């Protein structure tokens, strides 16, 4: 098979890293051989640093030479070019990866790394066998209707709430799509579906399964890339605003992969007070949890004596008072007298699994209670007996998880409210849940959902065609009532806006912004969609499916294709594909849901050679093929 056929196996920029690397050992081996996507490598390394997991880069020589299970607990195969992985990892390396996982280790593959782990790949009409075979099934990509390769975009994914990995995740998330796949297991093969592509028939986009004594996670998305921040160490996709970071989900996913108790960085101690001048007054604790956890009784706060390591008090969160809710995070607080001076600690657990164990005035190891055997994390600051009453230690910063914040203070207490040093407030953003653009019929449907809104007057929608240098406004809350915001609300809201002034054959990018009561504009997110070069030819709906002969035929510049979809119960999935005489797919012209109607498609001869082609229309269960001839 020619190498050129494999160049398109992944949705990533192909950059070769060939430096020799010494083996020392760590929790994660990070593959950086030829074909590895540098941005994916760097972003995952930064995530592991954020979570506190050790890692080390490995080359093909390392993988082929060393018994990986003797040095690592898991391996990460990043996005990139799966063909080069196949080319440079030999039979010994394949066996080393299998042995690492089978003996109790983990394999995490994104995009190319997921293609590489599959038994076979189906890409743009071709089928290719791969040797690692962790996943007994095939990976099918790329998904042009989400983003034609080699474009990338944010896309909504539906999370499977029935798997433990997703227990702290919302029902729908947005994630970076860059040439990823659908996963199709062979008959009788059992895997857990992590999520499905909301924009592609809810087909499977992420899976988890066991292999021997180990575990495997494969995703068609790139959760390692944090699109709207600099913390991933890359600038890739920074123009896309994924306010809902994937790192919180990835935190729990890596717990599962490494066979550790499942935790989330979104449960944390946010503020507490234990010592002041004279007799201690107003002692208190405040915690933050995701609003997705609707039963506070599942969470317990345990106080520890650092001198003995034993628990001396315990409180269920159901006895706390609910404070403010900001953008998917809920604050709870309680006055607790008798919180001991340090070195002491606070553990917070969810259904018996410790999510955070912190201490003040020194670290220690717990000897009983939910944190038994664990060593506390010293917050690095403390209160003194000389502090005035009414102060507390507080987490400050901007984010949605405890590693995003740092301990500061003492400042004036803010029980049930976001923390403040008197000048700057703690920020718990994430107002936008999803934003998507989908072509349907002869219009683009924009839909978005907020998790919460604060002083929101409304939205502005801007548009830029692929031939235009900048965005222009075509929808505003000032002129369109449907774009008016909900003001301040702790509940989610859904919005929709339609763009009917579109030109067939054009790719549009839409930018969504919100405007607050002060008039300040906040850029939220972008979404792109390709409008196929066809249009509705009449308002009449045909009585039956048809694919008319193209005209002219033969043709030498353009030809018009007409087809019809009869009345049905709703939009149907439609594919219009051009094949050559050898059965190789030449062009995917349509791949989307379409409403009943009569449509035309203008096919250009650009980039096509003279000869005979076959055009196939598939609409639901209907299929038809026409022969067309191009003469240049």
* 7-29 pLDDT tens trace: 334 434 333 334 444 689 999 99
Say what the pLDDT of residue 426 is: 65
Has residue 342 been placed in a domain? yes
Give the separation between CA 470 and CA 346, rounded to whole angstroms: 52
Neighbours of 424 (CB within 10 A): 11
Residue 248 and residue 286 share a domain: no
| CA distances in angstroms from 554 to 305, 551, 582, 616, listed in the order given | 86, 8, 19, 17
Say what the pLDDT of residue 551 is: 83
Residue 497 and residue 405 share a domain: no
CATH number of the domain that residue 147 is part of: 3.40.50.880
392 vs 243: which has the higher pLDDT: 392
Say what the pLDDT of residue 431 is: 57
Name the residue range of residue 558's domain: 534-630
Range picked from 305-319, 324-338, 429-443, 466-480 for highest mean pLDDT = 305-319
Has residue 418 been placed in a domain? no
Say what the pLDDT of residue 399 is: 81
Has residue 337 been placed in a domain? yes
Residue 228 and residue 347 share a domain: no
Has residue 427 been placed in a domain? no
Residue 358 and residue 244 share a domain: no
Has residue 425 been placed in a domain? no
CATH number of the domain that residue 491 is part of: 2.60.40.10
Say what the pLDDT of residue 570 is: 64
Mean pLDDT (whole number) for 362-381: 97
Considering the chain, what is the average pLDDT of its residues?
A: 87
| CA distances in angstroms from 259 to 6, 114, 376, listed in the order given | 34, 20, 21
Of the candidates 161, 223, 218, the one whose C-alpha atom is nearest the C-alpha of residue 189 is 218
Q: Is the pLDDT of residue 1 over 60?
A: no
Say what the pLDDT of residue 4 is: 34
| CA distances in angstroms from 132 to 94, 139, 179, 204, 478, listed in the order given | 6, 13, 20, 21, 57
Has residue 247 been placed in a domain? yes
Q: Is the pLDDT of residue 520 over 80?
A: no
Please state the φ and ψ torsions of residue 101, each to the nearest 5 degrees: -75, -45
Nearby residues of 46 by Cβ (< 8 Å), 6 or more positions away: 231, 232, 233
Residue 625 and residue 546 share a domain: yes
Has residue 275 been placed in a domain? yes
> pTM (2 decimals)?
0.69
The per-residue pLDDT for range 215-225, each reduced to its tens digit, is 999 999 999 99
Alpha-helix runs per DSSP H in 17-106 = 38-51, 60-65, 82-88, 91-102
Has residue 419 been placed in a domain? no
Q: Is the pLDDT of residue 186 over 50?
A: yes
Residue 551 and residue 502 share a domain: no
Q: Is the pLDDT of residue 337 over 50?
A: yes
Residue 318 and residue 219 share a domain: no
Range picked from 365-369, 427-431, 450-454, 624-628 for highest mean pLDDT = 365-369
Q: How many domains does the chain have?
A: 4
Residue 103 and residue 46 share a domain: yes
| Angle at CA of residue 624, ends 619 and 630, nearest 5° | 115
| Angle at CA of residue 174, ends 477 and 328, nearest 5° | 70
With b for 16 or more beta-carbon neighbours within 10 A and e for fewer, the 118-141 pattern comes to bbbbbbeeeebebebebbbbbbbb
Banded pLDDT at 490 (limits 50, 70, 90): low
Neighbours of 375 (CB within 10 A): 14
Domain boundary among 494, 509, 531: 531
Domain boundary among 531, 551, 570: 531
Q: Is the pLDDT of residue 539 over 60?
A: no
Mean pLDDT (whole number) for 279-297: 92
The per-residue pLDDT for range 189-214, each reduced to its tens digit, is 999 999 999 989 899 999 999 999 99
Mean pLDDT (whole number) for 387-403: 90
> Does residue 109 sit in helix, strand or coil?
strand
Strands 484-489 and 472-476: unpaired
Residue 438 and residue 561 share a domain: no
Of the candidates 249, 258, 122, the one whose C-alpha atom is nearest the C-alpha of residue 176 is 249
Residue 220 and residue 328 share a domain: no
Residue 400 and residue 318 share a domain: yes
Give the separation between CA 204 and CA 233, rounded to whole angstroms: 29
Residue 442 and residue 582 share a domain: no
Q: Is the pLDDT of residue 629 over 50?
A: yes
Banded pLDDT at 517 (limits 50, 70, 90): confident
Q: Is the pLDDT of residue 441 over 70?
A: no
Please state the φ and ψ torsions of residue 263, each to the nearest 5 degrees: -130, 170
Domain boundary among 506, 531, 556: 531
* Lowest-confidence region among 263-272, 317-326, 460-469: 460-469
């Amino acid at each position: 098979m020619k190498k050129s056929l494999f160049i398109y196996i992944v949705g990533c920029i192909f950059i070769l890293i060939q430096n020799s690397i010494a083996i020392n050992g760590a929790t994660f081996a990070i593959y950086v051989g030829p074909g590895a996507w540098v941005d994916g490598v760097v972003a995952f390394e930064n995530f592991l640093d954020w979570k506190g997991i050790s890692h080390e880069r490995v080359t093909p020589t390392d993988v082929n030479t060393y018994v990986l299970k003797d040095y690592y607990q898991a391996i990460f195969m990043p996005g990139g070019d799966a063909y080069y992985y196949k080319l440079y990892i030999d039979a010994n390396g394949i066996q080393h990866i299998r042995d690492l996982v089978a003996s109790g280790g983990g394999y995490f593959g994104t995009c190319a790394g997921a293609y590489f782990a599959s038994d076979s790949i189906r890409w743009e009409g071709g089928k290719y066998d791969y040797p690692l075979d962790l996943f007994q099934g095939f990976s099918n990509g790329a998904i042009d209707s989400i983003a034609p390769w080699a474009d990338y975009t944010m896309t909504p994914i539906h999370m499977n709430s029935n798997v433990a990995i997703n227990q702290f995740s919302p029902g729908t998330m947005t994630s970076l799509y860059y040439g990823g796949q659908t996963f199709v297991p062979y008959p009788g093969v059992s895997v857990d579906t992590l999520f499905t592509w909301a924009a592609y028939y809810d087909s499977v986009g992420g899976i988890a399964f066991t292999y021997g004594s180990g575990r495997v996670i494969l995703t068609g998305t790139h959760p390692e890339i944090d699109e709207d921040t600099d913390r991933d160490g890359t600038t890739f996709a920074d123009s896309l605003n994924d306010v809902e970071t994937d790192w919180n989900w990835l935190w729990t996913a890596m717990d599962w992969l490494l066979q550790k108790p499942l935790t989330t960085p979104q449960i944390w101690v946010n503020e507490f007070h234990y010592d002041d001048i004279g007799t201690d007054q107003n002692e208190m604790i405040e915690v933050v949890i995701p609003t997705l956890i609707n039963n506070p009784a599942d969470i317990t706060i345990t106080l520890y004596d650092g001198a003995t390591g034993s628990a001396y008090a315990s409180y269920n969160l159901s006895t706390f008072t609910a404070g403010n809710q900001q953008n998917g995070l809920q604050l709870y607080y309680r006055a607790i007298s008798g919180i001991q001076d340090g070195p002491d600690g606070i553990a917070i657990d969810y259904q018996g699994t410790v999510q955070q164990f912190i201490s003040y005035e020194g670290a220690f190891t717990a000897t009983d209670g939910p944190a038994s055997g664990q060593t506390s994390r010293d917050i690095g600051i403390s209160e003194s007996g000389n502090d005035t009453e009414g102060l507390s230690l507080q987490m400050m910063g901007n984010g949605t998880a405890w590693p995003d914040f740092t301990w500061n203070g003492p400042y004036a207490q803010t029980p049930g409210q976001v923390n403040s040093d008197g000048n700057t407030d703690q920020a718990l953003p994430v107002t936008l849940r999803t934003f998507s653009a989908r072509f349907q019929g002869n219009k683009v449907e924009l839909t978005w959902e907020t998790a919460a809104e604060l002083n929101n007057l409304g939205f502005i929608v801007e548009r830029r065609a692929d031939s235009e240098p900048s965005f222009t406004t075509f929808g505003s809350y000032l002129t369109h009532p449907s774009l008016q915001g909900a003001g301040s609300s702790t509940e989610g809201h859904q919005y929709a806006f339609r763009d009917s002034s579109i030109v067939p054959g054009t790719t549009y990018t839409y930018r969504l912004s919100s405007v607050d009561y002060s008039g300040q504009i906040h850029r939220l997110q972008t979404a792109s969609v390709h409008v196929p070069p066809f249009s509705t030819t009449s308002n009449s709906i045909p009585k039956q499916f048809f694919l008319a002969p193209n005209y002219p035929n033969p043709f030498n510049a353009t030809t018009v294709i007409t087809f019809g979809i009869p009345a049905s119960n709703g939009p149907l999935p439609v594919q219009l594909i051009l094949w050559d005489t050898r059965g190789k797919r030449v062009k995917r012209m349509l791949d989307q849901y379409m409403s009943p109607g009569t449509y035309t498609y203008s096919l250009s001869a650009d980039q096509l050679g003279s000869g005979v082609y076959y055009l196939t229309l598939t609409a639901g269960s209907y299929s038809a093929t026409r022969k067309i001839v191009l003469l240049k």
